Chain A
Amino acid sequence: MKHTISELEDIASQVRRDILRMVHAVQSGHPGASLGCADFFTALYFEVLNHNPKFDMDGKNEDLFFLSNGHISPVWYSVLARSGYFNVSELSTFRKLNSRLQGHPTTHEGLPGVRIASGSLGQGLSVAIGAALAKKINGDKSLVFALLGDGELQEGQNWEAFMFAPHNKVDNLIASIDYNGQQIDGPTEKVLSLENLQAKFEAFGWHVITTNGNNMDEIVKGLEYAKSLTGKGKPILNLMSTQMGYGVDFMVGTHKWHGSAPNDEQLANALGQIKETLGDY
């Protein structure tokens, strides 16, 4: 391992502070699922991905990551900055005029690390499949990772993509689902039930694994196991249970912090619960 689990947890702690401070500073953005996915992003960028922070769009011979649920941009921006794609001081420009850190991620302003715009939901898996196909044509053995929200599975394009990848043996692809059971209007089971996701993905022909997305040891082991399953004829689906708002007691497990920013008092309360490990930006 490049880092110990304890070191990764410390990085994730700083990432959570970054998320809260970014969203608080502009009083907008999506802290809930960003906090819930802080452990996954940290594991991915600091342990699992073979990637080069000297960003190249084509990313030949390196692993690629695509974020489909672009509204959790704060966690991605923090991890990209903390892993060297750009200076952490730039996090203070999040959602402000003339920033590369747009509300939703985009290639348009040339932010290193981002290869496709996302925000309008349901499109990322198709893009990841395309990138995985390009790697196959190029004889490039590296992998493609994607993250999708569970709420966005209500978008039909995902199911076109879920059908396509197994039929075409896109087995250099690991898609993770942020399975937190929450969306803007409430719990997914009330808004539009996802029913038995594992059975659905298996019926579509994916190799499904399940992980706890808020346990660093389990995420790292789960993603390494997922890598070992690649190249065997099936795309890999990591059904990753998380808690929205994880790490802040008054934000955890509710949709209420999906897209709301904490006020000054709430920020102080939240930061008091999360250790500053790498230095705030």
Chain B
Amino acid sequence: MKKYTYTDKKDTRSGFGAGLHEAGKRNENVVALCADLVGSLKMDAFIKDFPERFFQIGIAEANMMGIAAGLTIGGKIPFTGTFANFSTGRVYDQIRQSIAYSGKNVKICASHAGLTLGEDGATHQILEDIGLMKMLPGMTVINPCDYNQTKAATLAIMDHEGPVYLRFGRPVIPVFTPEDQKFEIGKAWMVNEGTDVTIVATGHMVWRAIQAGEELEKLGIDAEIINIHTIKPLDEEAILKSVKKTGCIVTCEEHNKFGGLGESISHLLTTTYLAPQEFVAVNDSFGESGTPDQLMTKYKLDPSDIVAAAQKAIARKSK
């Protein structure tokens, strides 16, 4: 198992804030919009340096999505910022008609996704957003795994023509990817090569998958770990190549098991190469109040849950 270490822990939303600030410096067409959550989205640096390119919308997310769509007409590259719940479920029809169907170059940037938002509870913990967004034709869906990857992804989507959903979160987690990484939309990152089981993870679950890989190694299991940061378009080639080698797969996401990364991979496998798949995901439920760690444990998203799923997937391989 390749050794991953970290010297710092940061939140992915701060990676977005840093990326947005850098994007503003690199391209004068970048504009930002926020629905009364500037501090939570870490947009302060952008606003300080580019006040004329920032729009405070107020608590009116539907209007924000429409204004963002309109700003593209005239060549702007709008980045909208609010919580994941209000970035997707609340404004689904606005995104569908005014952004996705209209083919507008809007970057929907969503913080506080998943359970790790913590104490605010289920009203704010959306676990359906990946599904909602990936179903829209033409929408790119990205869920980076740490501060550095989120910053790199924010810059990459600036250069990508078309609507994008960028999902990140609130908790402080290890920074284990390189600062100077090149982020390629739709390209999987091989975290660790192995032979016994493929573990695919996205977002906050990638570090947990690495911890699980270390545990599996102690059990004599050689896990291949792949980071899928781009859920759509999916790097089908990387996943199939790995599954053909290992013969089974575990998918890990901080999302409902329905509609997420795991479901996309199930579709891929059932239509191309049958192999046992286990899901480490929320079991079709809403969240609740609690600390992020308590919630990840209660909803079975811990490294130990990945280990158990890997063992089960291996056991299901045809003899």
Shortest distance between the CB of B251 and any CB in chain A (Å) = 32
In angstroms, Cα B74 to Cα A120, docked, is 23
Q: How many positions in chain A have a CB within 8 Å of any CB in the partner chain?
A: 39
Contact (Cβ within 8 A) A127 B103: no
The residues of A that contact B57 with a CB separation of less than 8 Å are 164
The residues of B that contact A134 with a CB separation of less than 8 Å are 70-76
The residues of B that contact A117 with a CB separation of less than 8 Å are 97-98, 101-102
> Which residues of B77-107 are within 8 A (CB) of A?
78, 93-94, 96-98, 101-104
In angstroms, Cα B72 to Cα A130, docked, is 8
Q: How many positions in chain B have a CB within 8 Å of any CB in the partner chain?
A: 32
In angstroms, Cα B103 to Cα A115, docked, is 10
> Which residues of A110-142 are within 8 A (CB) of B?
115-120, 122-135, 137-138, 140
* Interface 9-mer from B41-49, B58-66, B213-221, B288-296: B58-66
Tell whether B268 is near chain A: CB-to-CB under 8 Å.
Answer: no
Contact (Cβ within 8 A) A106 B71: no
Contact (Cβ within 8 A) B66 A58: no
In angstroms, Cα B106 to Cα A116, docked, is 13
Contact (Cβ within 8 A) A164 B102: no
Contact (Cβ within 8 A) B102 A119: no
Closest residue to B57 on the A side, CB-wise?
Answer: A164
The majority secondary structure among interface residues of chain B is helix
The residues of A that contact B69 with a CB separation of less than 8 Å are 116, 126-127, 130
Contact (Cβ within 8 A) B74 A107: no
The residues of B that contact A64 with a CB separation of less than 8 Å are 73
* Known A123-B94, A164-B60: A60·B102 in contact at CB below 8 Å: no
Given contacts A123-B93, A129-B70, 12 further A-B contacts (CB under 8 A): A58-B74, A58-B75, A60-B74, A116-B69, A119-B97, A122-B62, A123-B94, A127-B66, A130-B72, A157-B63, A164-B58, A164-B60
The contact sample of 24 A-B pairs, CB cut-off 8 A, is A58-B74, A58-B75, A59-B74, A64-B73, A108-B102, A122-B62, A123-B98, A124-B66, A126-B64, A126-B98, A129-B63, A131-B70, A131-B71, A133-B55, A133-B71, A134-B71, A134-B73, A134-B74, A137-B74, A156-B62, A160-B60, A164-B60, A164-B67, A168-B55
A positions within 8 Å CB-CB of B: 57-60, 64, 66, 106-108, 115-120, 122-135, 137-138, 140, 156-157, 160-161, 163-164, 168
